[in-house]
Amino acid sequence: MATVTFENVTKKYGNVVAVSNLNLEIADKEFLVFVGPSGCGKTTSLRMLAGLEEITEGKVYIGDRVVNDVAPKDRDIAMVFQSYALYPHMSVYDNMAFSLKLRKMKKDEIDKRVKKAAATLSIDQLLPRKPKQLSGGQRQRVALGRAIVREPKVFLLDEPLSNLDAKLRVQTRAEITKLHQQLGTTFIYVTHDQTEAMTMGTRIAVMKDGLLHQVDTPQTLYDKPNNLFVAGFMGSPSMNFFDVSIKGTADNIVAAGEGFQLPIPAERTVGMKPYIGKDVTMGIRPEDLHDAAFVPPNIHVGKFEAKVDVTELMGNEVFLYLITGKYSYLARVDPRTQARVGNTVQIVANLDSVHFFDKATEQAIR
Ligand code: ATP
């Protein structure tokens, strides 16, 4: 059992609060991703778990054991860093065997583990080579191999793909996901890249300014962000935001903006009632804005005009950069669209997927 628990964990560097009162339970065998912009505290959280940073307040558990004062080597974890930190003078085999030798493991057991890990990662052929004779992707696998041979209870990975080019990153992403399934071990992964988080995590913990903003499955984070930050951070291209006024009566609420009046579906009116007469932020994902000629069936729709500023043909869809009143925003529409730059077009919003956020608290209104 390798659950990991952060209980009221705070890390301060002098006056800087790097992590503020973090509470998080990570289940056995989970693939949890910490994601957030630079400086949000994700690396510090991981390093506290690894024992590389002291914990200012709170407790960190691995299983049932509080590990605050346990030395890193006794925590039964293995960490893979962004810089692979391979020993340049050692062969791949020796790099992978190194930590086991330090533990005075028997030679034949070391050999068995190194070869098994090498086979898992398809680097058997590379074992005699030195790191400088490897590509970036191969080095990355050796770094993973070095962690695997230790058969730890928990794997910690800190931006392990950031030194790889775009194509290799996508490929290695899938390999790490597969590795997690094969090993059946708890993985905790840090990245600033929301796509990596969405594609790899069984759950994602979104952080900003030392605070955990939301932790949930990728789909729930995407569909039901708790606040404006999570809504804007998760999803690429990002959600469009519009300042709107909520008007009308309890049975007939509309979101009024410059150039549109969108009727709010009945299911949403309960949460919106207290906001009648107030300004809120409305969020619509680009894929929920359609060319009026190609609207999916069975959705509540709101229609308005837009001027086309830029078009980008993506093959399976077209990105339309649009302007309505004071708003600039993006729609991902059907590739059969006839919209051209400079045209005024009819745009349809899927009102079942519209988000609203309180202006003052930035919390989602549901
Ligand atoms: P990045 O993606 O840039 O690595 P991060 O989300 O991992 O960012 P952390 O490295 O955890 O962020 O840093 C969180 C905050 O703590 C930042 O404001 C950072 O400047 C600060 N910080 C980190 N390490 C130290 C240190 N050794 N001394 C002082 N402040 C630090």
Q: What is the mean pLDDT of each run of 10 residues along the chain (366 residues)?
A: 93 96 97 96 96 96 96 90 85 94 93 92 92 88 91 92 84 90 94 94 97 98 97 96 96 95 89 96 98 95 97 97 98 97 97 96 96
Q: Is 44 in the pocket of ligand 1 (CB under 6 A)?
A: yes
Determine the residue of 10, 33, 43, 211 to mutate for testing ligand 1's pocket, defined as the one with the most ligand atoms within 8 A of the Cβ atom.
43
The percent helix, strand, coil of the chain (3-state, each to 5) is: 30, 35, 35
| Placement of tokens 């993006």 in the chain | 330
For the chain, give the number of residues: 366
Distance CA 259, CA 352 (A): 20
CB 353 within 8 A of CB 285: yes
Specify the residue with its C-alpha closest to ligand 1, atom 27. 13
Q: Reduced to 3 states, what is the DSSP secondary structure of residue 173?
A: helix
Residue 295 buriedness (CB in 10 A; 0-12 / 13-18 / 19+) = middle
Q: Reduced to 3 states, what is the DSSP secondary structure of residue 273?
A: helix
Q: Quote the Cα angle for 183-108-92, to 5°.
A: 65
Determine the residue of 16, 162, 163, 192 to mutate for testing ligand 1's pocket, defined as the one with the most ligand atoms within 8 A of the Cβ atom.
16
Residue-wise pLDDT for 42-75, tens only, equals: 999 999 999 999 999 999 999 999 999 999 989 9
Q: Tell which residue, 304, 299, 247, has the closest CA to residue 272.
A: 247
Q: Is 43 in the pocket of ligand 1 (CB under 6 A)?
A: yes
- 282: part of which helix (H) or strand (E)? strand 279-284
85 φ/ψ angles, rounded to the nearest 5 degrees: 55, 45
Residue 241 buriedness (CB in 10 A; 0-12 / 13-18 / 19+) = middle
**48 C-alpha to ligand 1 centroid (Å):** 12
DSSP letter for 175, please. Answer: H
Q: Quote the Cα angle for 229-40-240, to 5°.
A: 20
| Placement of tokens 């050796």 in the chain | 142
Specify the residue with its C-alpha closest to ligand 1, atom 10. 43
Specify the residue with its C-alpha closest to ligand 1, atom 11. 41
Ligand 1 atom with the smallest distance to the CA of 47 is 11
Q: Please give the span between the terminal C-alpha atoms of the chain, in angstroms, as a whole number.
A: 37
Four-point Cα dihedral 280, 285, 288, 292, nearest 10 = 80
Ligand 1 atom with the smallest distance to the CA of 41 is 11
**235 C-alpha to ligand 1 centroid (Å):** 24
pLDDT confidence of residue 1: 65
pLDDT confidence of residue 164: 80
Contacts of 57 by beta carbon, 8 Å cutoff, 6+ apart: 8, 9, 10, 21
Residue 208's CB: how many other CB atoms inside 10 A?
18
Both tokens assigned to 36: 């957030």
β-pair partners for 364: 357
Distance CA 79, CA 84 (A): 10
**209 C-alpha to ligand 1 centroid (Å):** 10
Ligand 1 atom with the smallest distance to the CA of 44 is 11
Distance CA 215, CA 218 (A): 9
| Placement of tokens 């952080």 in the chain | 207
pLDDT confidence of residue 230: 98
Four-point Cα dihedral 113, 114, 117, 121, nearest 10 = -170
**39 C-alpha to ligand 1 centroid (Å):** 5
